[in-house]
Amino acid sequence: MFDTASASNGVKLALLEGQLLTREIDRATFIERAANLGLPAPAIGDAADKFMAIAANQAARRAALRASYDYIVVGSGASGSVVARRLAENPDARVLLLEAGGDDLKPGILITETWFFNQGGEFDWSFAAERSPSVNNRSIAQAMGKAIGGGTSINGMVWARGHKNDFDHWAKEAGDDAWNYRHVLDIYRCIEDWHGAPDPQRRGSGGEVFVQPAPNPSSIAPAFLRAAESLGIPTFADQNGVMQEGPGGAAITNVRIRDGRRLNIPSSYLYPVMDQANLTVLTGAYVNRLTIEGNTVTGVEFEWQNEVRRIKASSEVVLSAGAIQTPKTLMLSGIGDRAELDRFGIATVSHLPGVGRNFQDHPVIGGGLWEAPGPLPTRNNASEANLFVKSRSELNTPDLHIWQIEAPYLSEVTGRHAVENVWSISPGLVRPESRGFLRLKSANPKEALEIHANMLTDPRDLAALRRSMEITRELGNSEAMKPFVKREILPGDLEGEALDNLIRDGAMSMHHPTCTAKMGQDDLSVVDAQLRVYGVNKLRIADGSIMPTITTGNTHAPCVIIGERLAEILNA
């Protein structure tokens, strides 16, 4: 599945770094093999020294686990890695980062073009939503990363900041202007290392986060932009920037790819500080619950190396386990709706009925498929152009996110239409009205939650996606796309109930579960503007679960912002 022989030198170097970390190879072997890649000797030596220092430091930290740390961070994804990094920048702060998954410097994670094979694979928790009539009684897969880097190790590597209106709405819900677009934009400019069209008002350089437009894209990507223009959709040099302040547009995709390898968030935030004595990173550490005295969190209970361990946090515990695992940990610890907790004999510490509620995700429809005259090569993340557009002109923010994909991107139902040499246009809904919820199945920490995603249950979502399918056809059958079209396969001229059935059959998750422990001030809010859990001391949440509403686009970048915001708060 993963051809490392033909992988880029960036991937090959990262694999060697991973072998150095796990001590599968020694320094001399690393230098010899890295030199064969034609890399400059100083860079090879620096990489060898860095990763050997990380390996030695983390081995020492694991061998001498402390009974207490200043901070415990649960989860190493887009938010957790950021929080751990920023806390560890204070040399006096002792930080423990717990990750249930394993190492990330593996072919399946690093190779970019085949990222979708990770869904349902060894690096995925492989969650699935309950069957629902709104998607023709199907169970929708909900991929969540299970490795260092969390979702940033298995996602499509897209850097989509979110729309201006998203953050201004968050600020209103939180009652705190530090969450508004102006402040969030300042954070983005500070952390980014942007390699695209200069825009000093909106893009930063020299920060931790390398971002660029998909380099050397397949010829179908600029054709997709020309197709968008033919429909009156403006095109931009940058997917982010001014495009995310207006009514929509099309652009080459911003990606977290460099030298042909995935850049997950740990590559930018975590590895640079993992040789520090004040940071301990444990992989394979499965958190069962929080330890609590009265209404104060004292630490965590977790399983590691076949032992149940309890370690205290003298300052705070930060939950960054994602919008599915974070609510589960809260509920198992007695934080949630009292009636739900009573079902399993869990004593209530803080009655918060919003825990696990307000579930939001982006549906994407595997229902736009064309056969090409011949093979179509995949490059970068195989999805190098995208656009945002409104399904209705009166909306104040684009609600549709439509992707050009250099491969068949279909559900288990619509996949039967795939033949050789096919590519997709996949419309997604990024401002859904449908809301779901999560429930415990038992008090057993190893048992997955019930996920009631309720995708497409609100009729407004189906109406928006009908319009998205019309736009998809117009794009795929435009003059600009003719060199890539032998015939249209889906959706064809379906309409009415038949089109609705295609949408329901083709509905998939973009794997952006969010909003299940939302920030706000109403009765269903779980955290305040400082990300403190209501009714509990010394506990904060930093991950996609705290979003009041899901962002307009991929959630990778906004989750980094959530981590940076908590770091600002804790370091104030």
Q: Which bin fits 399, alpha (ψ -120 to 50), beta or left (φ > 0)?
A: alpha
What single string gives the DSSP state of each residue in 286-307? Answer: EEEEEEEETTEEEEEEEEETTE
Query: What's the rounded Cα separation, in Å, for the pair 78 and 562?
Result: 9
Query: What's the rounded Cα separation, in Å, for the pair 198 and 192?
Result: 12
401 contact partners, CB below 8 Å, separation of at least 6: 362, 386, 387, 388, 427, 428, 429, 430, 552, 553
Cβ(149)–Cβ(256) below 8 Å: no
Question: Hey, which bits of 147-285 come out as E strands?
Answer: 192-194, 209-213, 249-252, 254-255, 257-258, 261-262, 279-283
Q: Of these residues, 362, 511, 512, 556, which one is catalytic?
A: 512
User: Other C-beta atoms within 10 Å of 42: how many?
Assistant: 8
Question: Strands 257-258 and 363-365, how do they pair?
Answer: unpaired
Give the helix/strand (H/E) hosting 365.
strand 363-365
Query: What's the rounded Cα separation, in Å, for the pair 200 and 195?
Result: 12
Query: What's the rounded Cα separation, in Å, for the pair 396 and 316?
Result: 39
- Count of alpha carbons within 13 angstroms of residue 54, beta-carbon side: 21
User: Other C-beta atoms within 10 Å of 525: how many?
Assistant: 20
Has 512 been annotated as catalytic?
yes
Cβ(441)–Cβ(121) below 8 Å: no
Query: What's the rounded Cα separation, in Å, for the pair 167 and 558?
Result: 9
In order of 321, 398, 471, 505, the CA distances from 230 in angstroms are 43, 18, 11, 29
Helix (H, G, I), strand (E, B) or coil at 554: coil
Question: Strands 400-405 and 422-429, how do they pair?
Answer: antiparallel
Query: What's the rounded Cα separation, in Å, for the pair 427 and 168?
Result: 25
Helix (H, G, I), strand (E, B) or coil at 369: strand
b/e sequence 192-226, b meaning 16+ C-beta within 10 Å? bbbebeeeeebbbeebbbbbbbbbebbebbbbbbe
Q: Which of the residues are catalytic? A: 512
